[in-house]
């Protein structure tokens, strides 16, 4: 099989992880890495002797040997870089979030469609084996009807200069929630404060309101003393806790619930009963999600199949982020999500 050749734009915080995983795949070659920082390019050359580096994006765009481009740069650059990549006929991978607005996402999706190119977004957590196991558990009906989801993604830093904490951290949780529920929210509410940098919220509370009364809450912070990566899925029969910081038992299923009496004649007879059962931690094989994600991008590009985190899902996440920004400006007012946003 002919080698699939990739160029990577961005060698900063996350870029080296993308380079490492693509470079480790069989039948894949990372040909060129582009970055404006010459020191970062020197670091890449030290790690990978065979990879070329450049400070000029056009060199990758004009290289006919490059099949695809992976973009791991600040969010405000995603649209321009991805548009040039797609117009140059390259399959394109963009780190989350996809772009700075729904309008930009919509345009990128249309260019990819017209040129029959794969456009995939780096929603890494939906390729996490623990997340896929949770979806399997919930879909099976084991926990009963899902009532709500509660998520906390907290740590001290890394502070961003161009986006707030919702745009930085919440895309992970939003993509997981959309992947598991397989439906879009009807509206959002978002409250937050900027404590360190004026105009850039570093602590936020986001609520997604879904059909049939379901909802999900997401607490994001760059100002917490502990690194917390926790999600709770509460059902009518059982509850699932997903702790991504936990090294081994990332998923725990609790046989706990509240039961209402089926009928009663007087208020004195009305009593809730609480069921306490066992806790079970299912085995989940640990494989680096980014490795699975990179292989998925290559496979979809070669076979022209839709990625699990395509531009459609990327646009959906940005739509929620846009609505959250509007809600923040309106002090937490409910913002309805619609296709015209």
Q: How far is CA 74 from CA 19, 45, 208, in A?
A: 17, 22, 26
Residue 216's DSSP bridge partners are 149, 208
Q: What pLDDT score does 270 carry? A: 55
Q: Which residue has the tokens 């978002």?
A: 190
User: pLDDT tens across 88-117, in order?
Assistant: 999 999 999 999 999 999 999 999 999 999
Q: 154: closest CA among 206, 204, 226?
A: 226
Contact criterion met (CB below 8 Å) for 122 and 292: no
Contact criterion met (CB below 8 Å) for 84 and 61: yes
Q: What pLDDT score does 195 carry? A: 96
Q: 24: closest CA among 325, 225, 291, 244?
A: 291
H or E segment to which residue 178 belongs: helix 165-181
Q: What pLDDT score does 277 carry? A: 80
Instruction: List phi, psi (to 5°) of 55.
Output: -100, 5
Which strands form 119-122's sheet, in the order they lie side by side? 52-54, 28-34, 4-9, 68-71, 91-95, 119-122
Assign a CATH topology to domain 126-287+320-336.
Dihydrodipicolinate Reductase; domain 2 (3.30.360)
Q: What pLDDT score does 340 carry? A: 54
Q: How many CB atoms lie within 10 A of CB 36?
A: 14
Q: What pLDDT score does 74 carry? A: 96
Rounded Cα distance, 271 and 264, in Å? 9
Contact criterion met (CB below 8 Å) for 131 and 176: yes
Give the number of residues written for the chain.
341
pTM (predicted TM-score):
0.93
User: pLDDT tens across 137-195, in order?
Assistant: 999 999 999 999 999 999 998 999 899 999 999 999 999 999 999 999 999 999 999 99
Average pLDDT, 10 consecutive residues per value, the chain (341 residues): 94 96 96 97 95 98 98 97 98 98 98 98 98 97 96 94 96 98 97 96 98 96 97 97 95 88 58 81 94 98 98 98 97 86 50
CATH architecture for segment(s) 4-124+289-309? 3-Layer(aba) Sandwich (3.40)
Domain boundaries, the chain: 4-124+289-309, 126-287+320-336
Reported as half-sphere exposure (CB side, CA atoms, 13 A), residue 203 has a value of: 8
DSSP 41-75: HHHHHHH-TT-EEES-HHHHHT-TT--EEEE-S-H
Read off the tokens for 147. Answer: 């009532």
Rounded Cα distance, 339 and 318, in Å? 12
Q: What pLDDT score does 264 carry? A: 58
Q: 10: closest CA among 46, 51, 49, 53?
A: 53
What residues contact 154, with CB distance under 8 A and at least 6 apart? 219, 220, 221, 224, 226, 227, 228
User: Torsion over CA of 73, 127, 205 and 252, rounded to 10 degrees?
Assistant: -150
Q: What pLDDT score does 259 carry? A: 74
């Amino acid at each position: 099989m002919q080698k699939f050749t990739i160029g990577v734009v961005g060698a900063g915080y996350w870029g080296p992880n993308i380079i490492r995983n693509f470079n480790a795949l069989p039948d894949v070659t990372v040909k060129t890495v582009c970055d404006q920082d010459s020191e970062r390019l020197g670091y890449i050359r030290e790690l990978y002797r065979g990879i070329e580096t450049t400070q000029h994006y056009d060199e990758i765009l004009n290289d006919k040997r490059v099949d695809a481009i992976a973009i791991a740069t600040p969010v405000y650059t995603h649209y321009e870089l991805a548009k040039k990549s797609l117009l140059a006929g390259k399959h394109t991978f963009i780190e989350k979030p996809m772009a700075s607005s729904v309008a930009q996402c919509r345009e990128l999706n249309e260019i990819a469609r017209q040129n029959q190119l794969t456009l995939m977004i780096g929603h890494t957590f939906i390729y996490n084996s623990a997340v896929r196991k949770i979806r399997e558990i919930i879909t099976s009906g084991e926990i009963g009807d899902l009532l709500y989801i509660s998520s906390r993604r907290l740590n001290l830093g890394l502070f961003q200069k161009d986006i707030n904490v919702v745009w930085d951290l919440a895309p992970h949780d939003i993509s997981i929630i959309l992947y598991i529920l397989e439906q879009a929210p009807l509206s959002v509410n978002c409250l937050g404060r900027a404590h360190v940098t004026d105009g850039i919220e570093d602590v936020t509370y986001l609520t997604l309101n879904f059909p049939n009364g379901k909802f999900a809450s997401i607490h994001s912070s760059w100002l917490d003393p502990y690194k917390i990566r926790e999600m709770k899925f509460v059902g009518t029969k059982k509850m699932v806790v997903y702790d991504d910081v936990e090294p081994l038992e990332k998923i725990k299923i609790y046989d706990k619930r509240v039961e209402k009496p089926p009928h009663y004649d007087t208020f004195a007879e009305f009593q809730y009963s609480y069921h306490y059962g066992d806790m079970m931690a299912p085995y989940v094989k640990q494989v680096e999600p980014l490795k699975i994600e990179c292989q998925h991008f290559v496979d979809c590009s070669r076979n022209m199949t839709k990625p699990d985190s395509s531009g459609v899902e990327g646009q959906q996440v940005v739509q929620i982020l846009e609505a959250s920004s509007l809600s923040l400006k309106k002090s937490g007012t409910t913002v309805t999500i619609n296709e015209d946003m």
